[in-house]
Structure formats: C-alpha cells, structure tokens
Amino acid sequence: MDRVFGLDQQTLISIAIQLFNVSILAAALSFLLYKPVRRFLQQRIDSIRAQVERVQDDQAMADKLRGYYEQELDGIDQQRLQVLDEAHRLAAEKRELMLAEAKKEAAAIRAKAHADIEAERERVSEEIRLHIIEVATAMAGKFVENSIDEQSHIRLFNETLADLEDMV
C-alpha cells in the first residue's frame, strides 16, 4: 500500500465516526456551554448598557450643571453690572454732594472776605475821617490863632466840615 490518501471503506468509516464524535461533542458543548456563554454575553451586554446609561445620565447631569453654572455666571455678571452701576451712581452722588459743599464753602469764604473787606473799608474810612478831623482841628486851631474875626472862623469851620462830609 503505497498510497498517501485513499478513499476506502476504513477511511470513510473513520471520517463518519469523527463527524459523529464532533457532532456529539458540539451538541454536548452546546448544551453545556451555550446557556452559560449566552448568559455571560447577556450580562456583558446588560453591563455595557448600564454603563452607557450611566454615562448618558452623567452627561445629562453634567449638561444640567453646566446650564446651572452658566446661569449662575450670567447672574453674577448681572450682579456685577448692578454693583458697578450702583457704585457709579453713588460716586456721582458723592461727587455732587462734595461739589455742593465746596461751593457752599467757597461762597462762605467769599462772603466772609467781602465782609472783612467791608469792615476794613469802614475801619479805614473811620480812621481817615478821624485823621481829617484831627488835621482840620489843628488847622482850625492855627487859623483861629491867626484869625482875628469870629465870622471868618465860623465860615472856615463850616467849609471844612462840608469837605469832610463829602469825603465820607
């Protein structure tokens, strides 16, 4: 028998037995392992679905939180703008109050300066009037000493008094 492969009866029986054994082994393994493998695969599918659902839930929660925080940031921006507006308003009011107070103080200083000037003017005027009276008295005294007649003396006194009143 010098052949490598022959399709004789022994080979065919051997092939048939092996096919039968493989069929029985496949059926037995299928019977024994199909349900556990299917259950394992189903559990794996369920686990993956649960993870996907958790991820989707987490994503939804993250989106909600992001929306919430964006609203909070918008609210904070609005509050910041309101605070800035309020600060600007208060600063403007304070500036106006300070300006009004400064104007009042300036008016008071101006009024005091005018009053001081008027008082000084009156004081100087009074001093000048008194000085003129002294000079006029001295002149009148000298004139009276030099003058003989009383009529001239009265006329001179009246003229000097009229001149002094014009000066004042």
Burial of 101 (0-12, 13-18, 19+ CB in 10 A): exposed
> Please, where are the H alpha helices in the chain?
9-146, 150-167
Flag whether 5 is in a domain.
no
Cβ-Cβ contacts under 8 Å for 143 (sequence gap 6 or more) = 153, 156
The range of the structural domain enclosing residue 59 comes to 10-167
Instruction: Tell whether 129 is covered by a domain.
Output: yes
Q: What is the pLDDT of residues 97-137, one digit of tens each?
A: 999 999 999 999 999 999 999 999 988 888 888 888 887 78
3: in domain: no
The total number of structural domains that make up the chain: 1
Tens of pLDDT, residues 15-74: 999 999 999 999 988 888 888 888 899 999 999 999 999 999 999 999 999 999 999 998
The two three-digit tokens of residue 115, written as one number: 């009053």
Instruction: Give CA–CA dist 82/80, Å, rounded.
Output: 5
* Whole-number Å distance between alpha carbons of 93 and 86: 10
